[in-house]
Chains A and B, each alone.
Chain A
Amino acid sequence: MRQDFIKFPLHLIVHPFDSFWDMKYEGKGKLRVTLTILLLVVISMILKDQFAGFLVNYNDPRHLNSIVQLFTVVFPFFLWCLSNWAITTLMDGEGKFKEIMMATGYALVPIVIIYTPMVVASRFMAEEETAFYYLMMSVASIWFIGLLFVGIMTVHQYTVLKTVVTMLLTVVVMGIVVFLGTLVLSMLQQITEFFINIYRELIFRT
C-alpha cells in the first residue's frame, strides 16, 4: 500500500528514467494509483481556485464550479491518453493503453505536491511575494511536462525527436477527436429531432 501509493510515485518524480523503466518492465505502478492521482489533481485544482489567497486569486466566486473543474481535468486526461494511444499505434509505439495512462497519471504527481502547499502559503503572502507563488506554479507545470516527456519516451521506447513529434501530433489528434465528437453529437441531435418530428406528425395526423 505504502509502497504503491507513496514511495514509488515520490521516487518516480525524481528518478523518472529508472522508474518509468521499472513501471514498464518490472510491473511497478498500478492503475488505481493513477486514478487516485487524477482525483487528487482535481481536488488540488478545486482547492487552488477556491482557497488560494486573495492576492493571487482572480476568480469570480460567482462562477466557480467544482463539477466543471472535474471535467476540465478528467476529460483532457482521457482524451490525451486515447489520442496518444491512437497515434503511437500507427507510429510503432510499444506502449499499451494502460501504460500510457499510468505514465500520464504518474507525471501529474508534481502538480499535486506543489499546488496544495502553495495554496496554503499564498494565504500568507503580500503582493511582492506572489511572484514566488507564480514561480512554483510554473515549476509544477514544467516538471509535469518533463515527466510526461520521459514517460512517453520510455513507454513507447522512442527517440527524443520521435517523442516530441508524437506529443505534438497527439495534441493535433486531440483537436480532431473533439471536432469529430461535436460533429457526431450535432448529427445525432438532428437525427433524433428528425425521428421525433416524424413521430409527432404521425400522432397528430390520426
Chain B
Amino acid sequence: MIAKKWLLAGTVASLLLSCAAPAPVHAEAVPYESYNYNYWEEAVPAPAAYIPDRTLTGKDLGVGDFLDPADMVVADSGLIYIVDTGNARIICLDSSWRVDKVITGFDNAGKEETFKNPSGLYVNDEGNLFVADTDNGRIVVLSPDGELLRMIEQPESDILPADFKFIPVKVTVDQAERVYVIAKGIFEGIMQFDENGVFIGYVGTNKVKRDYTEYIWRMFSTKAQKAQMALFVPTEFSNIDVDDKGFLYATNIDPGSKEPVKRLNPSGEDVLKRFGYFDVLGDIRYRMSVGPSKFTDIKVLPDGRYSALDANQGKVFTYNDEGDLLYVYGGKGNQTGTFKIPAAIEYAAGSQLVLDRGKGNIVVFKPTRFGSIVNEAVGYHYNGEDAQAVPVWKEVLKLNANYDIAYIGIGKSLLMEKNNKEAMKYFKLGLDRDGYSVAFKRYRREVMQEHFGTFLTSVMLLAAVWIAYRIFGFWRRKRQSRASRQAPHNLKEGNAHEAGFH
C-alpha cells in the first residue's frame, strides 16, 4: 500500500516536473534563409538578424485595400506615409499605426486637384510633402496640413530636348532644399532642381559599359542590322535616398553592374566605400534563373548603415558604411516575412518596414538579439568608440562564430590599444590581410626593439669566435707548413745519412 502511494506520488511528481521543465527553445522560425558570405565567397548560414513582427494591409488600417502601393516614407516626426498609387492617394499613419489622414487631392487656387498615378514621395525636416505625381508630370509640394505650397512642373532648359516630357517617378530632397528627381526615360542621371523648382542639371550619370563582344559583332554588321541592335545607353536609376550629410544614395537596375549602389557627393561623384571582401551588389552567388540582385529601393539607416531592397529575390541586404555585408533577410513567397513584389523599405524606431506592392501590405521586421547587437557594435565602431565595441563583438561571436566582421572589429580595437600581437590573431581569424600587415609591422618593430641588444651582442660574440677560430687555424697551418718544410729536409738528410752509412 505504502509502495503504491509512493509510486503514485512519484508519477505525479515526474508529470509535474516534465510540465514545469522549460519548453525546448526554438530558434524563432523564419520563412527565409539567413546567411552571410565568408572570405571565400561561400554563403554561410547565420542567425536571422530580423524577423517579421506583423503585417498590415489597408483593410487592417481601415482605409480599404491598397492598390499597387509604390512608395513609403517615415518622417522625422514618426509619421508614416504610404503612396497608394492605384487609388491615387497618400495615407498618413501615426507611429502606432492609426490612420492620421488620407490625402487624395489638394486645393490649387480654388481648384480641387487630384493625383494621377503618384509613385514617389519624400518628407523633409519641416514635414513638407514632395509627391511625384507621375502621370500629371509634376512634383507637388504640400505643407504638413495638405495645403499646396508649390509645384515643380515641366522643366525648361537648353540641355533638354524639345519633345522632352517630364515623368517623375521618385523624389528626394536634401538639406539645402535641392530636389532630386528620378524621371522615366532619362538616362543622363538624376535630375536636380533648386529650391524654387528651376532645373539645374543632372548628377551621377551611370557609366556606359563597353561590351567588347558586342563591339566586335558590330564591326561585321550591316547598317540595317545595327539599327536593330540595342543602343549603348546608360541605365536608369531606380531609387534614391539622402543621408544626414546630404549625400545621395542611389540604386540602379543595370543587370551586369558591379556598382548597383552609389553614394553621390554634391558634385555627383560616386564615393561609396567598398572595403568589404566583395562588391556591394547584393548576392554574389546565385542561380542564373534567379539572376543578380536588382535593387529597387535603398534606405540609409543610423550609424552609416544602409539597406538595399532586392526586387528579384525579395531580399534586404544591409551594409555598414565600409561596404561589409552585415546581414540578409527576406525572400520571395507567400508566408509572412516573404514578398511578392517588394517596392520600398523604410526604417522606424529600430524596426524595418517593407512595402509589398504585389500583396498590398506592409511587413514590419524587428531585430533579433543577433541583429540588434550587430547594429550596436557597428554603431560603436562608426562613432569611433572601438573599445566599447569589443565586448559587443564578442557577444556577436557567441551567437555566430563565423562572423568575420566581428573578428576584424575586435582586431581594429586591439590595434588602437597597441595590443599588436592579439590584434594579429583576430585579423587572421577575420582574414583581413591589410589589418594584419599593420599589426604585424608594429609587432615586429616591438620585438626588434626589445631584442636588438641581445641580437647584436650575440652577433658580435659569434663574429669574435669566428675570427679567433680563423686566426688559430692560420697560425696552426703556418706552424704545420713550417714543420713539414723542415721534415722532408730532415728526412732527406736522414736518408742520405742512412745511405752513406751503408
Contact = CB atoms under 8 A, between A and B. Distances in A.
B278 interface: no
A127 B40 contact: no
B436 A55 contact: yes
Interface stretch (B79-87, B116-124, B437-445): B437-445
Interface string B417-442: 00000000000100001101100110
Dominant secondary structure of chain A at its interface with chain B: loop
A128 B438 CA distance: 10
A126 B40 contact: no
A134 interface: no
Contacts of A60: 40
Contacts of A179: none
B71 to A, nearest CB: 44
B223 to A, nearest CB: 43
Contacts, number: 17
A127 B444 contact: no
Contacts of B433: 54-55, 127
Nearest to B428: A54
A54 B426 CA distance: 13
Interface string B435-468: 0110011001000000000000000000000000
Interface string A132-164: 000000000000000000000000000000000
Nearest to B40: A60
A124 B444 contact: yes
B436 A54 contact: yes
Contacts of B428: 54
Nearest to B441: A126
B199 to A, nearest CB: 48
Contacts of A124: 444
A126 B434 contact: no
Interface in A117-137: 124, 126-128
A164 to B, nearest CB: 32
A126 B433 CA distance: 10
Interface residues on A, range: under 10
Interface residues on B, range: under 10
Contacts of B436: 54-55
Contact of B444 (A54, A126, A128): A126
Nearest to B439: A126
B232 to A, nearest CB: 36
Contacts of A128: 437
B300 to A, nearest CB: 33
A12 to B, nearest CB: 30
A177 to B, nearest CB: 33
Contacts of A127: 433-434, 437
Interface string A39-54: 0000000000000001
Nearest to A130: B437
Contacts of B437: 55, 126-128
Interface hub of B434, B440, B444 (most chain A Cβ within 10 A): B440
Contacts of B434: 127
Contacts of B440: 55, 126
A124 B434 CA distance: 15
A134 to B, nearest CB: 14
Contacts of B40: 60
Contacts of B444: 124, 126
Contacts of A126: 437, 440-441, 444
Contacts of B441: 126
Nearest to A127: B437
A57 to B, nearest CB: 10
A60 B38 CA distance: 12
A194 B437 CA distance: 59
Nearest to B443: A126
B145 to A, nearest CB: 60
Contacts of A55: 433, 436-437, 440
A126 B437 CA distance: 5
Interface in A37-82: 54-55, 60
A128 B433 CA distance: 12
B21 to A, nearest CB: 39
Nearest to A62: B40
Nearest to B434: A127
Given A55-B433, A126-B437, 15 more contacts: A54-B428, A54-B433, A54-B436, A55-B436, A55-B437, A55-B440, A60-B40, A124-B444, A126-B440, A126-B441, A126-B444, A127-B433, A127-B434, A127-B437, A128-B437
17 contacts: A54-B428, A54-B433, A54-B436, A55-B433, A55-B436, A55-B437, A55-B440, A60-B40, A124-B444, A126-B437, A126-B440, A126-B441, A126-B444, A127-B433, A127-B434, A127-B437, A128-B437
Going nearest first, the 4 A-B pairs with the smallest beta carbon separation are: A127-B437, A126-B441, A126-B437, A55-B433
Interface of B: 40, 428, 433-434, 436-437, 440-441, 444
Interface of A: 54-55, 60, 124, 126-128
